[in-house]
Structures are given as structure tokens and as C-alpha cells.
Chain A
């Protein structure tokens, strides 16, 4: 089966600004693929190219087996889109919005009603189908947009920041819909996010910074590459425990605030050995994995928050410069 998304040396510049500077990636059918990076890193530009809304200035991209430049219509028939900003008609009912979509995509008339019910049930909005969209909350609108993006059974669903601006509870319900979706439909999900905790839900993630992919892999792989797990333990006798750790496992323990910290690979598998072989009573134990924040920091040299602040600053400076030029 052809890859759902295949990108080769993709580039996009706006004048002198290089938004995307040579990206390569391949997404397998059925994957949930996350595109992670600060605002202004080139995520949205890349998604726009993949959705045929922008033309690349270099390289190539194929989505659902079709070239995004030369087979634009074919690509469009096979993708669903949910943007950051809502693109619903507030003055129509939920159902009318979906019917509009069905007609625009030429879905066979006899399929429209059953498909409509199915996607609306998936996002738990079937009961509200006759309500005007302007009466919906932000989370309901996002769910409705996901339902609409699914109307024409796309092979690839693009979600650009699907949970941005939503409260934590709504965010988690959106994610449960996304995961349920993958079980029900043969679909590949390509999403962007700058929430680290959401990237954890993805099968694979690509970290993008300043227009380039700096890391690509499963969340676990990326974290493993960054460092070992940390185990924190309190024991009956810290001095004896430290000596035992050094003697039996060759591990150096750091002692701080009445706790011992050691770094090991595969922390969970190490814990049983620790209990069996340490020989000192263990009172409590905690295993911490490196977070994606650590991963991001390791690959880009800054935390995602700092990177965003810098990007915003540069955008601001750009505006000032543009004003000066105009003046």
C-alpha cells in the first residue's frame, strides 16, 4: 500500500522568508502522525501545501498517492480538513453544514443520510443536528468540523491544532473521538500541535523547528534517544543503598532531600530487580521518563515556550521593519 503522505525535500518561501526548508517524511496508512513545533516553525505552511492550498517552491509531496500540485482535485477528494479557525456557517444548522459539504464533494445522494448520521454520532452531536451552529460551544464546533471533515470518507484527515483554545476536558474528549475514529475507519490522521502532552497520543511524531525536521520517530523512541529513565527511591538506609547500588548494579546514585536518584534504561523493567537484589528495604519508588519537553529541548536547544517567544519577537520585529520600509 502506498504511503498516505510522502514528502520529498519540500520547500516553501515567501519572498526572502523561508518558511519550509527541505522536509522529508513518510506517513504510513492508518497512522496517527503528529507534527510538533512552536508557532511559526512551518507546521501550518506544510499542512497548507499538503492540502493543496499553497504551492511548494521546491520539492514534491504526494497525499493518498496523488501529487499535490499536478493532481490537485484527486488529492482534495481524498482528504478531510479541520483548520485552526472555524470554517462553519453559523447561520445554518449542523445538519445543513454537513449537507452542504456532501453536495460540494458530490457524495452519492443515497449515501448522504446514513453517512451524516454516522459521523454525527461519532462526535456525539446527532441530537443537536437541527440546531443552528451559532448556538454551539467552541468544543462542539470543533467536533462538528471533525464530523464534516469525515463526511466524504477521506483517506487522510488533516487536523491543524485540533484542540487549540479548548478547555482540558474538551481536549480530552476530542482525543477520544480521534482514537475511536482510527479504530472505526481506515484512515490516516495527520495533525499539528504544540501541546507536548498531546503528541504522546501519536504513533509517530516529527519535531519541526525553523522550517526543518529535527527529530522523527515514536514518542518513546525519541525519549529514549534523549536519555534514560529516572528512578527516585527512598530507603530505610540511604548510605547502605547507595553502596549496594554501586556494588551490585554499577550505578551512581545522587542523594538529595532524603531521596536517591538513579538513571537507567527501561526503568520499569529495572524496578523488580531492584526489589529482589538491593538488600535494603525500599520505602517508596517512582519511575519518571524523559518528557517530550526534554526531547524538544535536546533537539532544538530551547523549550517550546521559549522558541515560541522568539518566533513572536521576530514576527514583531519584521512588522516594524516593514513599517519602516513603507514609511
Chain B
């Protein structure tokens, strides 16, 4: 039998692109195989939207004339993404614990490429989970239009990527999956509660207002809410202001993306140092 001799070509940017793609693809395959997880992750947002949203909205009307469920919808979409992205980023810890990380570490590719692939993989998973929530919009009375769907998709994409990058940064130096999950709980809940996903930015005490403005998730929830409420009267009162200045959507998204890229850059540097 002939030997199919393979020559590994020298490293080029194209080789790094291939590495990014295959790291991403592996995470997507694994996410897709784990369908029980996809369904379980979709349950929590539904509870917030239908049970919490309907019950709370019926008694208290914290958002005035606006249906509370419509108000919650963007926040819940962000929540679904948030949890999935962090969980996906945890695969780095998982890979290290079960040895697969070594297979990637000894390959002749930049470690940054592995990180980017991981971030894109988690972003895809988070995006999928967000889209599930997106799809149930009509059930809670969100006025769907092609422009709205497209806007939300783009914003979800930026959000998923940025959140996964933050998750990757958390995961990169942690050795055990239990420790990672514990840490994620500490990070994820404040991020979610401070993001304005559950309440409008009105009449907040100063400490809380400052805290919400420091939460990167705030700048992802707000643009999505603006898109949803664009055609509903009085909605601009609900959106984010710095003092009296309404923060432009494009700046909000830039803050989200910038935070993500910064986190990924730090993560890649840290990852390069390990072992």
C-alpha cells in the first residue's frame, strides 16, 4: 500500500482561519448534539416572560400602559443569550479538565486563533438560544416587522459574541468546572439584575443608577428594547440616558462590542501564558 505522505504547509493567516473555523465547528456540533440542553435553556426565559411577566403585569403595571411582557421581552432574550454564552465559554475549562485542550495547545497555530474560535462557537450557541426567544415575540404581543427582526438579529449577534468573550476571559485561568460554575453564578446574576432587563430606568436611586450604567449588559438590553418599542408611544422615556443625554444606539453597541474585544484580547494573552 502506498503511503499518502502529507506535507504540513508553513503557517499563514489562511491556516489560522482554518483553525478558527474548526474550533468553532466543533463547538457547534457539540451544542447541536446536546438538544436537551437547548430545550432546558429555553425554559427559563419562558418562565420569566409568561409567568413572571403575566402575573406581575396583571397586578402592578410597573410600565404603565405598556404590557409588561413586551417590556421584558428584550431583557429575557438577553438573559437566554447570557446564560448560554457563559455556559459555552465554560467548555474551555471542560476541555482542559478532560485533556482535549492539549490537542489544541500543541498544534502549530496561534493560541489567539483557538480563543477566537471558542468565542465564535459560544456566540453561535447563545445566538441560537436568543433566536428561540425571538421567535415567540408574537405570542407576547411584540409588533413584528422584517426591520425589527433584522435589527434584533444583528444586536443579538453582537451581544452573544461580547458575552462569550467575557465568559472566555473568566474561563481561561480556571482549572475545574465546578469552580467555573460557581464564579459564573457570582458574575451572571448581578449582570442580569443590573442590566435593566426587569425594570425601567426611572426614578432609580443614584447608587443603583450608577451600577446599572457600569453593567455592559445594560448597553445590549437597551438597544434591543428601543428596537422593540420603536413604534409604541412614550417608549423613549424608558431608554437609557447619561444625565439628560440619550445614549445613541450605535454608541451602546460599540460599548458592548468593545468590551467583548477587550476581554478576548486579555483572554488570548493569558491563554498564551498558560502552560
Residues on A lying within 8 angstroms of B by beta carbon are 51-54, 73-74, 76-78, 81, 83, 85-92, 96, 99-101, 103-108, 111, 114-115, 118, 148, 151-153, 184-185
User: With A89-B100, A100-B22, A101-B103 known to touch, is A118 a contact of B108 (CB < 8 Å)?
Assistant: no
Task: Specify the chain B residue showing the minimal Cβ separation from A75.
Answer: B108
Q: Which 5 A-B pairs have the closest CB atoms?
A: A103-B22, A106-B15, A76-B108, A153-B6, A87-B99
User: With A77-B108, A87-B99, A96-B29 known to touch, is A111 a contact of B22 (CB < 8 Å)?
Assistant: no
User: With A76-B108, A111-B4, A184-B3 known to touch, is A106 a contact of B100 (CB < 8 Å)?
Assistant: no
- Assess the B102–A92 pair: CB atoms within 8 A: no
A114 to B4, CA, bound (A): 7
Task: Specify the chain A residue showing the minimal Cβ separation from B110.
Answer: A73
- Determine whether B140 belongs to the interface, using a CB cutoff of 8 Å to chain A: no
Residue with the greatest number of chain A CB neighbours at <10 A, chosen from B102, B103, B275: B103
- Assess the A185–B3 pair: CB atoms within 8 A: yes
User: Which of A76, A86, A115 touches B107 (beta carbons < 8 Å)?
Assistant: A76
- Assess the A104–B9 pair: CB atoms within 8 A: no
- Assess the A111–B6 pair: CB atoms within 8 A: yes
Q: Which chain B residues border A153 with CB–CB below 8 Å?
A: 5-8
- Determine whether B21 belongs to the interface, using a CB cutoff of 8 Å to chain A: yes
- Assess the A92–B30 pair: CB atoms within 8 A: yes
- Assess the B9–A108 pair: CB atoms within 8 A: yes
- Assess the A104–B107 pair: CB atoms within 8 A: yes
A124 to B244, CA, bound (A): 71
- Assess the B4–A53 pair: CB atoms within 8 A: no
Q: Which chain B residues border A185 with CB–CB below 8 Å?
A: 3
A245 to B104, CA, bound (A): 65
- Determine whether B11 belongs to the interface, using a CB cutoff of 8 Å to chain A: yes
Q: How far is the CB of A29 from chain B (nearest CB, A)?
A: 15
Q: Which chain B residues border A92 with CB–CB below 8 Å?
A: 26, 29-30
Q: Which chain A residues border B104 with CB–CB below 8 Å?
A: 104
- Determine whether B35 belongs to the interface, using a CB cutoff of 8 Å to chain A: no
Q: How far is the CB of B115 from chain A (nearest CB, A)?
A: 14
A54 to B106, CA, bound (A): 11
User: Which of B1, B8, B99 touches A86 (beta carbons < 8 Å)?
Assistant: B99
- Assess the B6–A152 pair: CB atoms within 8 A: yes
Residue with the greatest number of chain B CB neighbours at <10 A, chosen from A104, A153, A184: A104
A91 to B3, CA, bound (A): 30
A24 to B98, CA, bound (A): 34
Task: Specify the chain A residue showing the minimal Cβ separation from B22.
Answer: A103
User: With A106-B15, A115-B6, A185-B3 known to touch, is A53 a contact of B99 (CB < 8 Å)?
Assistant: no
Could you show 19 A-B contacts with beta carbons less than 8 Å apart? A51-B106, A53-B102, A54-B275, A77-B8, A77-B108, A83-B102, A87-B100, A92-B26, A100-B103, A101-B107, A103-B19, A104-B22, A104-B103, A104-B107, A106-B8, A106-B14, A115-B4, A152-B6, A153-B5
A10 to B33, CA, bound (A): 46
- Assess the B6–A100 pair: CB atoms within 8 A: no
User: With A83-B102, A92-B30 known to touch, is A107 a contact of B6 (CB < 8 Å)?
Assistant: yes
User: With A91-B33, A92-B26, A96-B29 known to touch, is A105 a contact of B107 (CB < 8 Å)?
Assistant: yes
Residue with the greatest number of chain B CB neighbours at <10 A, chosen from A73, A91, A103: A103
Residue with the greatest number of chain A CB neighbours at <10 A, chosen from B5, B100, B101: B100
Task: Specify the chain A residue showing the minimal Cβ separation from B34.
Answer: A91
- Assess the A52–B19 pair: CB atoms within 8 A: no
Q: How far is the CB of B264 from chain A (nearest CB, A)?
A: 19
Task: Specify the chain B residue showing the minimal Cβ separation from A132.
Answer: B33
Q: Mark B91-117, 1 if CB is under 8 A from A, else 0.
A: 000000011111111111100000000
A106 to B12, CA, bound (A): 9
A100 to B106, CA, bound (A): 13
Q: How far is the CB of A148 from chain B (nearest CB, A)?
A: 8
Task: Specify the chain A residue showing the minimal Cβ separation from B12.
Answer: A106
